[in-house]
Homo-oligomer: A and B are copies of this chain.
Amino acid sequence: MAELRRDPIVGRWVIISTERSRRPSDFLSMPAHPVSAGPCAFCAGQETRTPDEVLAVRGPGSAPNAPGWSVRVVPNKFPALRIEGELEPTGEGLYDRMSGIGAHEVIVESPDHTASLATLPDTHLAAVLGAWRDRMIDLQKDKRFEYVSVFKNHGEAAGASLEHPHSQLIATPMVPLAVEGELEGALRHFRIKKRCIWCDIIRQEMHAKVRGLGRLILGEGGFVALSPYAPRFPFETWVLPESHRSSYEEMGGGELLALARVLGDVIRRMDRVLSDPAWNLTLHSAPLKTPALDHFHWHVEIAPKLTRMAGFEWGTGFFINPTPPEEAARYLREGVPKGP
């Protein structure tokens, strides 16, 4: 069973595997991708090879854990955290730990092994985004959980270990440090200005756009995509609702379709400009147990994997980004690759 442990200095929680722990030799013999002939466990017709589904978007008359679905959510077969048990917060001198309780689920985005978010129809992508929402709403009922992190690794360089298109979610009994940092910074801004900082950012970027400048990539149907002012990574992109909303769970069906249009468009632009890069996506929404927050604005962060993080970055939290966001935004707006 895994353990959740807190760094006593900075307060960062980490998940430590104690059961299937990796010995030194395991790192040496890290396998190349398991290549198997035939369909994978996420393909249509292979439903019995996964744990039972917790959610599926299915055609009328199709049975659970059988073909006929377009989006399917299953528990991760090798979860980082386990759903069964009590939290049992324990002290050990200076240190704090908790049993490794959480949910770790896989959102299979299509029955087709070769599909991708870039090629799915908008309505299908909206169903994926709806599955994220519906799982968050369901997991919110579990009083042990404070947060649901939804993320997607696309491509091997981004850490994807399976080819079949899928995203993941991890529900945890604490709010992740990165989101805590955003909540604190945004609250500081709100206390002084009485305004949401992301609303302010959108306003400033829209105003810059009028002058033909700035970092806005596109805006459509109530959603905007932009290059942030101080991105950690080249072509880092944020997608967010134009009007203030703190919780992703509250998105209605029409909004999800509009979000799918913008998100799909952004991914296709990245594919064109950067020749199908690997990328990571994370959804930042308000913590589960908070009421609607005036100072937090949910958003999606996408970063293509173009550079390698080295010692300076992880050791200091200081990033060196070789592409100014104004240029990244211009390339993504124009959407055409520049040849060498």
Q: Please give the residue numbers on chain A whose beta carbons come within 8 Å of chain B beta carbons, in ascending order.
A: 3, 5-18, 20-29, 80, 93-95, 149, 151-153, 158-160, 168, 170, 172, 176-179, 181-182, 185-186, 189, 197-198, 200-201, 204, 228-232, 234-235, 273-275, 277, 280-282, 284, 301, 303, 306-312, 314-325, 327, 331, 337-340
Identify A25's interface contact among B176, B310, B322, B339, CB under 8 A: B339
Q: Hey, which chain B residues are within 8 Å of A17, CB to CB?
A: 320-324
Contacts A95-B204, A95-B229 aside, 11 further interface pairs with beta carbons under 8 A come to A8-B185, A10-B178, A13-B318, A14-B231, A14-B321, A15-B321, A16-B325, A17-B323, A27-B277, A95-B230, A159-B308
Assembly CA distance A179 to B318 (angstroms) = 10
Residues in chain B near residue A280, CB distance under 8 A: 310-311, 314-315
Q: How many copies does the complex hold?
A: 2
List of 8 A-B pairs having minimum Cβ-Cβ separation, nearest first: A159-B310, A282-B315, A280-B311, A176-B316, A178-B317, A177-B317, A5-B230, A22-B322
Chain B residues, Cβ within 8 Å of A307: 27
| Complex CA–CA separation, A210 to B29 (angstroms) | 35
| Complex contact B316–A151 (CB within 8 A) | yes
Question: In the complex, are the beta carbons of B7 and A322 less than 8 A apart?
Answer: no
* Distance in angstroms between the alpha carbons of A254 and B93 in the assembled complex: 33
The chain B residue sitting closest to A204, CB to CB, is: B93
B27–A316 touching, CB < 8 Å: no
Residues in B with CB closer than 8 Å to A234 are: 22, 27
The reply to whether B317 and A232 contact each other, CB–CB distance below 8 Å, is no
A157 → B minimal CB distance (Å): 8
Chain B: which residue is nearest A181 at the CB level?
B10
A160 proximity list for chain B (CB < 8 A): 310
Q: Tell me how far the C-beta of A97 lies from the nearest C-beta in chain B, rounded to whole angstroms.
A: 8
Q: Chain B contacts of A152 at CB under 8 A? A: 311
Contact A15/B319 with A27-B234, A94-B200, A230-B6 known, Cβ cut-off 8 Å: yes
| Nearest residue, chain B, Cβ from A28 | B275
| Shortest Cβ distance from residue A122 to the other chain B in the assembled complex, whole angstroms | 23
- What chain B residues lie within 8 Å of A186 (beta carbons)? 9
Whether A189 and B338, one on each chain, are in contact in the complex, defined by CB atoms closer than 8 angstroms, is: no
Please give the distance in Å from A12's CB to the nearest CB on chain B: 6
Give Cα distance in the complex from A139 to B269, angstroms.
44
Structural contact, A172 and B21, CB atoms closer than 8 A? no
* Choice from B16, B151, B337 contacting A315 with Cβ under 8 Å: B151
CB atoms of A338 and B25 under 8 A apart: yes
| Contact residues in B for A229 (Cβ distance below 8 Å) | 5, 7-8, 94-95
Q: Could you say which of A159, A178, A275, A322 has the most chain B C-beta atoms within 10 Å of its C-beta?
A: A322
> A235 contacts which chain B residues (CB < 8 A)?
24
- Give the residues in chain B near A20, CB-CB below 8 Å: 322
> Given the interface contacts A159-B310, A320-B17, A338-B24, does A178 sit within 8 Å of B315 by beta carbon?
yes
Is A321 a contact partner of B149 (Cβ separation < 8 A)?
no
Known: A25-B339, A185-B11, A200-B94. A318 touches B230 (CB 8 A): no
